[in-house]
Amino acid sequence: MPNRLAQETSPYLLQHADNPVDWWPWSREAFEEARRRQVPVLLSVGYSSCHWCHVMAHESFEDQDTADAMNAHFVSVKVDREERPDVDAVYMEAVQAATGHGGWPMTVFLTPDAEPFYFGTYFPPAPRHGMPSFRQVLQGVHQAWDERRGEVDEVAGKITRDLAERELSYGDDQVPGEQELAQALLGLTREYDPQRGGFGGAPKFPPSMVLEFLLRHHARTGAEGALQMARDTCERMARGGIYDQLGGGFSRYSVDRDWVVPHFEKMLYDNALLCRVYAHLWRATGSELARRVALETADFMVRELRTAEGGFASALDADSEEVVSPEGRGREGDGGRREGGTGKHVEGAYYVWTPAQLREALGEDDAGLAARYFGVTEDGTFEEGASVLRLPQRDEVVDAGRIEDIRERMLAARALRPAPGRDDKVVAAWNGLAIAALAETGAYFDRPDLTEAAVAAGDLLVRLHFDEQARIARTSKDGHVGANAGVLEDYADVAEGFLALAAVTGEGVWLEFAGLLADHILARFTDDESGALYDTASDAERLIRRPQDPTDNAVPSGWTAAAGALLGYAAHTGSEPHRTAAERALGVVKALGPRVPRFIGWGLAVAEAVLDGPREVAVVGPALDDPATTTLHRTALLGAAPGAVVAVGIPGSDEFPLLAGRPLVDGGAAAYVCRNFTCDAPTTDSDRLRTALES
């Protein structure tokens, strides 16, 4: 019989609705039940596309004996970290402080007052590699709770006090200057992997926010070293197994230093951020590879992640069902005939290939070429002799038309395999990132369909996620809005997406919506005294600690994303409060940028925009579809000046403050390049506009 999670909208929670565990969602009622029964709370945090979350679910949460122990001695609470990043952040901080590491699934035992006292991540069903079994952990915690309750309460109180007393160094109210940004660049150079691209060792994550900083730094200063690191890293990733060579889009990370074998889950946020990075790399260099990857990644998002309501789903799983062919040969040689699943889910099964599978799908001659082109070997680069597709360097000259035909046939054969599961919930912040990427990519490459997809996602957020005060809900699914309040990254990333839509479409309503979100950031997320930002609103549910973190993780931190959105809105409107708040927020980047540049890349990118102005470009014309107007508008959008904002419209339009007092020149279209609303002489020539944006 389904448990309480059957009433939830999160795909991750629904995956556990038929567990024999008597799960509760995170709620006041769950803690009241623990208090009534005088038992601890077992908090389990994960997400839908998490491989080890699925493993622990199959091993433990679907096991009746384990469930009986959980039900007898605990109130068990299941949380989707993507729906409740605040809950995840608070208890992950405790896990990392206590154990020195973290990860998902996260397992935390709490008092009925939500104070943590015992921590872990994945626990196996039997003792393994020095780890106790999950059943042993349950027994040990239950025994400690019953027999040493005073000790447990003391530990929980101390941990909670220690968390509450942690103070973040905010730096000061000044933005990073030339010295701090140069030190950050030097620090990145020291950690850069010149042979393989990227930073640090395995596992290797796409450094999206750092790449944006490097591109902006090059645009502002002309530093070739910054551009070289960005260009080489992008090429290595695009040629590696982390990139889907057939269908486009990036996996979460590479398990090795060479970008060969990925963790195969595909997240919306990674692909949105990387789509924008590659589009900006093309803007800076004209690279054909960057153009191809930006467009293929955009097409992947629209094709595989777009929901029926017009938003974008969160992720595709890493795992999919392993199948056997009618001859019972397992994965080896089963090619496109996917019949008879084993029921076992295997990571990467959808994406990897053996030489025998290539022969069955393509025939002998084309299979040989495909194997050489995509790096498929007899020994394999993955498991059981399978290879992850990549584009190794080769001397062989190939027929591009033949390769494209091979790619299409392989893609068709792959489509017959059991597909990975999709997490269909729409997360506001990640959709904001996708909106920005698709709007700009559509504008750069004359793909109005991509811009239209961005507009549709923006419409969904306004229609469904906004309430009457423009407070934003974190998630929705199947057209139904979730109950969880938006956090800082939701307000900031959606505002960033709306600013991009305003620039590309010339529709001022998107600037208006961005302003509503920016006002919420000032009123509900900002500390008036210090200028620090919190991840949750002042009127949000109170946890044992109000979370705040300025460092990037898989996405820009809410803190630095908010600084960027506030700065962009101030550049559009001349609003001093928004500009001041952005600059005060960047004080932490001044403190952390030279020390840990890899983990505050977006803050460094925003600081580049401050040092450059940012520039404000007003394009006026007799009509939006006037050829001269569209040429100047496109030139403005292609300008690489860090954080530049663009407004386009007819003279006298009140949709964009930047257009006020900007007349036509000799009755024709003109562009004004300004800083702090002080403008250079207008130009009617796109080449001169390009030069003005590059100088």
Distance CA 424, CA 433 (A): 17
Is the pLDDT at 664 greater than 50, yes or no? yes
Residues 73/39, Cβ–Cβ less than 8 Å:
yes
Distance CA 424, CA 314 (A): 6
Specify burial of residue 119 (Cβ count, 10 A radius: 0-12, 13-18, 19+): buried
Give the CB-side neighbour count of residue 236, counting CA atoms within 13 A.
Answer: 25
Is the pLDDT at 310 greater than 90, yes or no? yes
Query: Can you give the pLDDT at residue 341?
Result: 53
Distance CA 150, CA 146 (A): 10
State which H helix or E strand residue 377 sits in.
none
Distance CA 447, CA 672 (A): 26
**Antiparallel, parallel or unpaired: β 41-46 and 106-110:** antiparallel
State which H helix or E strand residue 37 sits in.
helix 28-37
pLDDT tens per residue, range 519-538: 999 999 999 888 999 999 99
Q: Which of 397, 340, 337, 405 is nearest to 366 (CA)?
A: 405
Query: Can you give the pLDDT at residue 146?
Result: 95
Q: How many CB atoms lie within 10 A of CB 155?
A: 18
- The torsion angles phi and psi of 128, rounded to 5 degrees, stand at -155, 130
Query: Can you give the pLDDT at residue 343?
Result: 66
Query: Can you give the pLDDT at residue 450?
Result: 98
φ/ψ bin of 281: left (φ > 0), alpha (ψ from -120 to 50), beta (otherwise): alpha
Listed in sequence order, the residues at least 6 apart from 580 whose beta carbon sits closer than 8 Å to its beta carbon are none
pLDDT tens per residue, range 539-572: 999 999 999 999 999 999 999 999 999 999 999 9
Q: What is the DSSP letter of 246?
A: T
| Helix 400-415 vs helix 355-362: crossing angle, to nearest 10 | 100
Listed in sequence order, the residues at least 6 apart from 108 whose beta carbon sits closer than 8 Å to its beta carbon are 43, 45, 91, 94, 95, 116, 118, 119, 120
Span 165-174, mean pLDDT? Answer: 69
Span 379-406, mean pLDDT? Answer: 91
Distance CA 673, CA 660 (A): 13
Listed in sequence order, the residues at least 6 apart from 515 whose beta carbon sits closer than 8 Å to its beta carbon are 569, 573
Span 42-55, mean pLDDT? Answer: 92
Q: What's the pLDDT band for 323 if we cut at 50, 70, 90? A: low
Listed range (89-103, 283-297, 435-449, 504-518) with the worst mean pLDDT:
89-103
**Antiparallel, parallel or unpaired: β 75-80 and 41-46:** parallel
Distance CA 624, CA 232 (A): 38
Q: What's the pLDDT band for 170 if we cut at 50, 70, 90? A: low
Span 19-37, mean pLDDT? Answer: 97
Which two three-digit tokens encode residue 180?
């701090």
Query: What's 125-182 look like in SS3?
Result: CCCECCECCHHHHHHHHHHHHHHCHHHHHHHHHHHHHHHHHCCCCCCCCCCCCHHHHH
State which H helix or E strand residue 87 sits in.
helix 85-99
Distance CA 4, CA 13 (A): 10
Listed in sequence order, the residues at least 6 apart from 558 whose beta carbon sits closer than 8 Å to its beta carbon are 487, 488, 489, 491, 492, 525, 533, 535, 549
* Amino acid occupying residue 287: S
Q: Which of 8, 368, 570, 530 is nearest to 559 (CA)?
A: 530
Distance CA 86, CA 252 (A): 22
Q: What is the DSSP letter of 541?
A: P
Is the pLDDT at 1 greater than 80, yes or no? no
Mean pLDDT of the residues in the chain: 93
Question: End-to-end distance of the chain based on CA atoms, in angstroms?
Answer: 67
